[in-house]
Amino acid sequence: MKASTHHIRDAGILLAFLLFIPDYPATASNDNYPAGARAAAVGKVSVMSPDFWSTWHNQAGLGFYSHFTVGFHHENRFVVPEFSLHAIGLTVPTGRGTLGFSYNYFGCPGYHESKFGLAFGKAFHERFAVGLQLDYLNTYINNEMGNSGTVAIEAGIMAEPVDNLMLGFHVYNPTGATIPKMRQEKIPVIMRLGLGYQFGERLFLGMETEKDLDIDKPQYKLGLEYRVIEYIYARLGIMVQEYVEHSFGIGFNILNFHASMAFSFQQLVGYTPYFSLQYVFK
């Protein structure tokens, strides 16, 4: 009886995931989950920002990021533990560019998705960089299907055509990979394009659009970051698609530690808290 109860609970979680979460259409699995509370706070405007979290957002940013760094990210989506996302990563500069290693885990024991990523970003000029990542994606469903894995790629470019203006483009799964055991389930093809401008040393303003080829409406994002004092940042963001999602957060850069906290609010499903921490070896 106890085992049956667990199966019913897992089936209910999966059904809710597929039907009631607007960011994840029932025609797709293994979405390109973003990581990093800074990006979450600014409305997930990140495709043009070169930093440690470029390993998730746009691997071209690694070409402009030459630090040995480790970090982790956690979010409790909609304050439902079964929808939590955990991520860890590592960046390693080399003589030719920067390597990035990442791992994501989304879901619960009854249904979860995991992603292993190996990325490389290289700057060909002080104003232009490209990046590529090879992903291994795995989906687990607690029934006769079990585990099913596949390989996908993602790539991006990043440029600074004039001082303080950053442009970014990224594509996830351009080859249209699918999950072998789930023939009706496609891994989404997602394209993102954005620009950001740094106003002096204190203010950053960015905007981005994201298009999942399986969803009719694109998503529009706007984000703002303000440096309050030397080590503290305040952030705001908004995302608009079928619904409006607001976000805000704060960041602290103390010595070699960079910590960020954020919250987002979506009118249909409520709040999501985020936290990330990274350590830069200098």
Please say whether the beta carbons of 185 and 210 come within 8 A.
no
Is the pTM higher than 0.95?
Answer: no
Q: pLDDT band at residue 184, thresholds of 50, 70 and 90?
A: low
| Listed range (26-30, 63-67, 251-255) with the worst mean pLDDT | 26-30
Q: Rounded mean pLDDT of 139-167?
A: 90
Residue 2 confidence (pLDDT) above 70: no
- Going by C-beta distance under 8 Å and a sequence separation of 6 or more, which residues neighbour residue 239? 43, 44, 219, 220, 221, 245, 247
Per the listing, tokens 């059904």 go with 15
Token readout for 129 is 């960089």
**Domains of the chain, each with CATH number or no CATH:** 2-281 (2.40.160.60)
Supply the pLDDT for residue 24. Answer: 40
